[in-house]
Structure 1
Amino acid sequence: MRPRQLSRRTVLAGGAAALTACSASGPPPSPSPAPDSPEVVLLKALIAEKERTIALYSALIADGGGKLAPFRDRHQAHLTELRKHVPAVALTAATSAAPSSSPTTRKPSLKRLRDLERKAAASRARQLDAVSPGIAQLIASIGACEAVHAIALPRSL
């Protein structure tokens, strides 16, 4: 038997395949993270909102508004509960990617807090459609608490 001779075209095609295989033999590209679900996007927005609200309360408390501490503490409890429902990876990415916005660019005031609480409570009903029943219940109870805050905040410090 006589060895079969390879055509020039076959040799070149084989070499090209080998080069392609070599260049693709490195580690596989890291998969891009899956996009957040609409529920996670909403939860991350609520977390950021709660952080700003807590900062505003804290600024007023630092200025002598100690009687606002229970209100702030309830927001802290909301924040803790919201964070339980966001995957740690998504939460870490949100924290590192979120621009730090200072809630105290305008002077903190009770009126501003009351308006913030009223607007937050009013927005909760619109947020219930895109979430699971358990998250909807959490958001609804947060909204109820915010509505009570808008009414119960003291008129002066």
Structure 2
Amino acid sequence: MRPPHLSRRVMLVGGAAALTACNASGPPPQPPAQAPDSPETLLLKELVAEKERTIALYSSLIAGGAEKLTPFRDRHQAHLNELRKHLKAPASASATPSATASATPSATATPKTSLSRLRDLERKAAALRTRQLAAVSPGMAQVIASIGACEAAHAVALPRSL
């Protein structure tokens, strides 16, 4: 019940003012939440991060004198460039240089061990691509299938020694 001396209008205006005051003293409004990434965008971000790690591994070996691996690394760089074209937003935080650096082999890794690691990495990546095709658009499926074919070829074509 309202006190008898206050009209309905006074009550409404006073109530609105009280609500405004409450809102002004409360926490600042949150910016609208961004829509979550689509499954295809999440996969693209994952592929970008994976390519960056692979390029870092190749680059480390090349810097150590394995120049014959340059064409392999350059093909991965071309894959990375193509994948980035399809991302509508910047690469995820997992694709930062610090994440890439963690994939570089330790200074004690031998070329043979690293070649074996590269071969295994390429083989596993190629096998994974076929499972990734179902979750993407036909155009992106073509890109991913082409990348997988290149990775399969790398697994076979990598030299046995440097």
Per-residue CA deviation, residues 50-73 of structure 1 (Å, 9 max, x unaligned), is 000000000000111000000000
Q: CA deviation at 1:18?
A: 1.6
Separation in 2 of the partners of 1:65 and 1:12?
A: 82
State whether residues 129 and 148 of structure 2, in contact with CA within 8 Å, keep that contact through their aligned partners in structure 1.
yes
Q: Secondary structure at the match of 1:64?
A: coil
Per-residue CA deviation, residues 101-156 of structure 1 (Å, 9 max, x unaligned), is 51125536100000000000000000001100000000000000000000000011
Structure 2: unaligned runs, 5 residues or longer: none
Q: Partner residue of 1:43?
A: 44
**Partner residue of 1:151 out of 146, 149, 156:** 156
Query: Given the two structures, how large is their TM-score scaled by the length of structure 1?
Result: 0.83
- Given residue 6 of structure 2, which amino acid in structure 1 is its aligned partner? L
- The percent of aligned pairs where both chains have the same amino acid is 65
State whether residues 53 and 99 of structure 2, in contact with CA within 8 Å, keep that contact through their aligned partners in structure 1.
no
Q: Partner residue of 2:19?
A: 20
**Partner residue of 2:134 out of 126, 129, 147:** 129
Separation in 2 of the partners of 1:50 and 1:73?
A: 11
Query: Given the two structures, how large is their TM-score scaled by the length of structure 2?
Result: 0.81
Aligned CA RMSD, in angstroms, stands at 2.7
CA, structure 1 residues 148+95, in 2 after alignment: closer, same or farther (shift >3 Å)? Answer: closer
- Given residue 104 of structure 1, which amino acid in structure 2 is its aligned partner? T
Q: Partner residue of 2:143?
A: 138
Q: CA deviation at 1:88?
A: 2.6
Structure 1: unaligned runs, 5 residues or longer: none
Q: Secondary structure at the match of 1:49?
A: helix
Q: Partner residue of 2:60?
A: 59
How many residues are aligned here? 151
Per-residue CA deviation, residues 75-95 of structure 1 (Å, 9 max, x unaligned), is 000000000011134x26664
Separation in 2 of the partners of 1:104 and 1:29?
A: 40
Q: Partner residue of 1:34?
A: 35
Structure 1 residues 78-89: aligned runs within 5 Å: 78-89=79-90
Q: CA deviation at 1:30?
A: 1.7
CA, structure 1 residues 15+105, in 2 after alignment: closer, same or farther (shift >3 Å)? Answer: farther
Separation in 1 of the partners of 2:140 and 2:15?
A: 55
Separation in 1 of the partners of 2:72 and 2:150?
A: 9
CA, structure 1 residues 112+124, in 2 after alignment: closer, same or farther (shift >3 Å)? Answer: same
